[in-house]
Amino acid sequence: MMNASASPGQPSSGRFPSWLRSTTSMARGRLAILTMLVLLTVGAWAMTVYQARTMDMSMGIVVRGQASGDAVDGMSGVAAMAMSGMAASGWSLLGMWAFLWAWAVMMAGMMFPAAMPVLLLFNRVHAQRRATGSGIVPTWIFAAGYLLVWTAVGIFVYALVQLGSDLASRLSASDRAAWAPHTLGATLVVAGLYQATPLKRVCLDNCRSPLGFLIEHWRDGWLGALRMGIRHGAYCLGCCWALFAVLVAAGVMSLGWMVLLTLVVFVEKVFSFGPRAATGVGVAFIVLGVLVTVGATGMPWIVAP
């Protein structure tokens, strides 16, 4: 019998099975999460492009105390590229926070597309638990743990850039020109070799299987979700650190390299041919690294700030 409290033309909740109501609710939840992730990714990319074009402190290694144009003046090819990028303003807490903000925004833009499957699945699992009366944890808790890992990496990158700048400032222009191609080339070769290592495969497998990851590492509660996000971020770091080493060497705000590496990460983690693509990228990096080292080519897509 229809519920007497239901108004004409409006079906009562009793006319629909509970499983159908929960399924509809979960579908709306997944759509909301997907929409939010897309908006966050687009917003992060928009802010990253803005930062790359307008920041006073560009993000690569140049000699402290020299203007960017002066630093690369008279150099050609790889030597000029290596000097473009983050202008080191010296060690400072304010400088570190500025760098971390730019880095975290960039990571959100680059990594959220590949992380969407696990975030959507996490949301779906908790929606099902809510339908059965269990507690629910917001998906942003998991995402926060994931970004926390990459933000911590930003502290290491900031220190690395500052140390690199200190070292470069002690070298003459000719020494910098001589060492730049070897440094960039070695970074590319190491990144290429890492693409074929067992550790890369293990981390990539965990990133490519959201369901397997959640089954193996599931933890209840808000703290559990944060721990899962951190663990997934750690696997992502193990999968992608070498790619981002190339980005740091090329200049952290190199938009060309950002776009390329975002596509590489997405293909590796989402498509069925991802592992083969990872191997192909490794081979390409090794070849490019050798060419850069011997001076046969410069690093592509580098624009001096």
Q: Give the model confidence (pLDDT) of 10-47 as tens digits.
A: 444 444 444 344 455 556 666 777 787 788 888 888 88
Within the chain, strands assigned E span none
Q: Which residue has the higher pLDDT, 150 or 37?
A: 150
The two tokens of residue 267 are 């293909």
Q: pTM of the predicted model, to two decimals? A: 0.75
DSSP letter, residue 298: P
Q: Which residues pair with 86 in a beta bridge?
A: 59
Give the pLDDT mean for 262-288. Answer: 95
Per-residue model confidence (pLDDT) at position 20: 41
As a whole number of angstroms, the distance between CA 303 and CA 305 comes to 6
Per-residue model confidence (pLDDT) at position 22: 47
For residue 159, pLDDT beyond 80: yes
Which phi and psi angles does 268 have, rounded to 5°?
A: -60, -40
Per-residue model confidence (pLDDT) at position 282: 96
As a whole number of angstroms, the distance between CA 181 and CA 298 comes to 8
Give exposure, 109-118, as e/b (b: 16+ Cβ within 10 Å): bbbbbbbbbb
The two tokens of residue 241 are 């650190």
- Closest by CA to 60, choosing from 79, 87, 78, is 87
For residue 3, pLDDT beyond 90: no
Least-confidence region, from 122-131, 200-209, 224-233: 122-131
Gyration radius from the chain CA atoms: 23
Beta carbons of 205 and 278 less than 8 angstroms apart: no
As a whole number of angstroms, the distance between CA 130 and CA 282 comes to 43
Give the pLDDT mean for 274-279. Answer: 95
How many helices (H) does the chain have, and how many strands (E)?
Answer: 11, 0
- Closest by CA to 192, choosing from 161, 184, 202, 102, is 184
pLDDT band at residue 144 using 50, 70 and 90 as cut-offs:
very high
Coil/strand/helix, residue 116: helix
Per-residue model confidence (pLDDT) at position 252: 72
For residue 68, pLDDT beyond 50: no
pLDDT tens, position by position, 246-266: 988 887 777 888 899 999 999
Per-residue model confidence (pLDDT) at position 134: 65
Q: Is the dihedral of CA 150, 264, 280, 85 positive or negative?
A: negative
- Closest by CA to 288, choosing from 179, 193, 196, 185, is 185
pLDDT band at residue 77 using 50, 70 and 90 as cut-offs:
very low
